[in-house]
Amino acid sequence: MKDSFGRDITYLRVSVTERCNLNCVYCGKTDCAKKENELSADEIVSIASAFTQCGIEKIRLTGGEPLVRNDICEITARLRALPGLRTLALTTNGVYLSQYARELKKAGLDSVNISLDSTDGSTYRKLTGADVLHRVLEGIDEAQRAALTPVKINAVLMRGVNEDSAASLIDLARTQPVDVRFIELMPFSDAGEDASRIVTNDALLRRFSFLRPLGARDGTAEMYTADGFCGRVGFISPISRRFCGTCNRMRLLSDGRVKLCLGDETTVDLRPLVGQREALLQAAQNCIRSKPAGHRFGETTQPHGLNKTGG
């Protein structure tokens, strides 16, 4: 199904919780919604089903941290069974991934994105507030063993904080068959609203000039590689190279509201329509048609907290 600007909307990000076991500085995490306010597995599947009937072919489970839900494997299996769904993925901070990877694969998960902003233990602890880097690295290894591929590693760099981690993160793509993707800092926290903290992807490409473009995109990422690399390096540039004209996604928040754009405050509450099949389908169609032309970062006050927006 196309939106009013002619874009094919085929991708739904589903935030299953606002809760998270880390406190990353760029997230701007606000008070999390109570567990009892989260959509149930039945509600998630019902709303997702309406969107797959509208042409959604890919679903990504997000949070917060989705692996804090004890029914995450049930949710995965039930979404996997939806007609028309081609790809089911999950974004995680990786802390619990080593214990869940094989079970998630068995439930039908295709791939994982893992947030990792530094391979240095002290820097990682400064960024996240937790000394769990070893568990994340174990999760990356276990995801590869479980064939949750492609394994993608998402990194956000901040000037004066972790920009020096870029080289070691790129080295992961040299030694392992993973995609390391750099995502420009967005305004979801005090740090994100400080433009001087942004490390642009153009600056990274000048610094790591040995990377050569593959001439293809993977979703929103421009992909690169280099001689001897097992994996790839991607650059996602919502600030310096906005890609709204090709955006194909919607976001379902953990309380049942649909966020039409990550960088726009408009939401539509679908939770009251669960159980009303035709009304829910019509509302999903209306959400797609109402998707704005582009984000408004820097133009309006944005709600803080990636835990609330689903990333």
Instruction: Return the minimum-mean-pLDDT range out of 57-61, 176-180, 192-196.
Output: 192-196
Confidence of residue 234 (pLDDT cuts 50, 70, 90): very high
C-alpha distances out from residue 187 to 35, 60, 93, 119, 304, Å: 26, 22, 20, 24, 8
pLDDT confidence of residue 176: 97
DSSP category for residue 234: E
Percent of the chain with pLDDT over 70: 88
What 3-state class would DSSP assign to 71? coil
Q: pLDDT at position 301, please?
A: 47
Per DSSP, 293 falls in state S
pTM of the model: 0.90
Query: What band does 219 get if pLDDT is binned at 50, 70 and 90?
Result: confident
Sequence letter at residue 304: H
Per-residue pLDDT of 21-57, as tens digits, reads 999 887 766 666 678 899 999 999 999 999 999 999 9
- In sequence order, what are the residues at sequence separation of 6 or more whose Cβ sits closer than 8 angstroms to the Cβ of residue 146? 101, 102, 104, 105
Q: pLDDT exceeding 90 applies to what percent of the chain? A: 76
Q: Which of 98-107, 119-128, 153-162, 255-264 has the lowest mean pLDDT?
A: 255-264
| pLDDT for 65 beyond 80 | yes
The mean per-residue pLDDT over the stretch 264-282 comes to 95
Mean pLDDT of the chain: 91
Confidence of residue 296 (pLDDT cuts 50, 70, 90): low
Greater model confidence, 287 or 195: 287
Peptide bond into 150 cis (omega under 30): yes
Given a cut of 90, whether residue 240 has pLDDT beyond it is no
Start-to-end CA distance of the chain, whole Å, equals: 23
Domains of the chain: 11-309 (3.20.20.70)
- Three-state DSSP class for residue 26: coil
pLDDT of residue 244: 77
Mean pLDDT of 205-230: 94
CB atoms near residue 34 (< 10 Å): 9
Longest Cα pair distance anywhere in the chain, in angstroms? 55
> Which ranges of the chain does DSSP label H, i.e. alpha helix?
41-53, 72-80, 97-107, 121-128, 133-145, 166-175, 201-207, 277-289, 306-309
Nearest to 248 by CA among 18, 50, 54: 54
The answer to whether the CB of 133 falls within 8 A of the CB of 142 is no
Structure confidence at residue 306 (pLDDT): 54
pLDDT for 192: 43
308 pLDDT tier (thresholds 50, 70, 90) = low
Q: Is the pLDDT of residue 160 over 70?
A: yes
Amino acid 48: pLDDT: 98
Q: Can you give the pLDDT at residue 36?
A: 84
With CA atoms as reference, report the closest residue to 252 among 40, 5, 61, 36. Answer: 61
The token pair that represents 114 in the structure block: 């893992």
* Average of per-residue pLDDT across 92-96: 98
Of 128-132, 154-158, 161-165, 187-191, which gets the smallest average pLDDT?
A: 187-191
Which residue pairs, CB below 8 angstroms and at least 24 apart, start in 131-138? 132/22, 132/95, 135/94, 135/95, 135/96, 135/98, 136/93, 136/94, 136/95, 136/97, 138/97, 138/98
